[in-house]
């Protein structure tokens, strides 16, 4: 018996990194997964992986910055699968995926708008339209992807950091508002994880690794290594499961000790 037997789970940004690890983990624990991603082929790829392992999943192309796209996702999920029990808001981007690194006072306005539009507005929209569906299924769980970058300051993250800090606060507000519907709302804040968003800093297109840069990223981790996506997925599934039935409105830090390191070296 899996923790998510009979439950329907949406994972946004499911095509790669933490989202992919979570989609696979939810399916391995019995959930029927809707793998939603902007990249259609990436979503299809994770569904193929899940089905090879005997799980149930379907791919859905989604742009979280587009309200109509989110509405269609929620409607299709209820129509085709009958219910929605878990929403994992994982989709997110960083300034460096759109432009070269820039200080906050030099960041192009369109980059700020895109990062905040995807990370914070998109998450709010998905939660807004998922909330009634979760209530109709008897309540459920929303798990939001914040970041250690929303809890401590990092240079060259003038849009990403505030967007992730906003997620922490939005999580608290929604937990208060949706409790009466039986829906728990939590978030998690991962540290530097082996995803494209992080490895782009030290790994070139030719596969060569800049060990100095990599060690700078690892250096804030008391565990002395990057976090694996599967380790973050374990935390996500905990928050989404009945194991966390008394937990709502909180942010679970999965940072390999970064906050402790920051405290020591403040």
Active site amino acids: 160
Of the candidates 64, 9, 15, the residue with the CA atom closest to the CA atom of residue 237:
9
In angstroms, rounded to a whole number, what is the distance separating the alpha carbons of residues 62 and 74? 11
């Amino acid at each position: 018996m899996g923790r998510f037997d009979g439950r329907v789970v949406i994972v946004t940004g499911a095509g790669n990194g933490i989202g992919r690890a979570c989609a696979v983990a939810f399916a391995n624990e019995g959930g029927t997964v809707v793998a939603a991603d902007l990249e259609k082929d990436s979503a299809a790829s994770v569904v193929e992986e899940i089905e090879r392992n005997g799980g149930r999943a379907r791919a859905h192309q989604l742009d979280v910055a587009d309200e109509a796209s989110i509405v269609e996702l929620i409607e299709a999920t209820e129509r085709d699968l009958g219910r929605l029990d878990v929403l994992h808001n994982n989709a997110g981007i960083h300034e460096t995926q759109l432009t070269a690194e820039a200080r906050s006072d030099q960041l192009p306005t369109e980059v700020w708008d895109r990062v905040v539009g995807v990370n914070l507005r998109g998450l709010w929209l998905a939660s807004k339209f998922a909330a009634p569906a979760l209530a109709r299924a008897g309540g459920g769980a929303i798990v939001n992807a914040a970041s250690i970058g929303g809890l401590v300051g990092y240079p060259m993250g003038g849009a990403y950091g505030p967007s992730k800090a906003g997620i922490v606060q939005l999580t608290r507000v929604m937990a208060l508002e949706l409790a009466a519907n039986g829906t728990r709302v939590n978030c998690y804040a991962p540290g530097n994880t082996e995803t494209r968003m992080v490895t782009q800093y030290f790994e070139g297109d030719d596969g060569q690794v800049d060990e100095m840069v990599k060690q700078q990223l690892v250096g804030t981790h008391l565990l002395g290594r990057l976090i694996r996506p599967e380790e973050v997925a374990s935390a996500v599934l905990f928050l989404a499961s009945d194991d966390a039935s008394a937990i709502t409105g909180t942010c679970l830090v999965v940072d390999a000790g970064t906050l402790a390191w920051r405290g020591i070296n403040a």
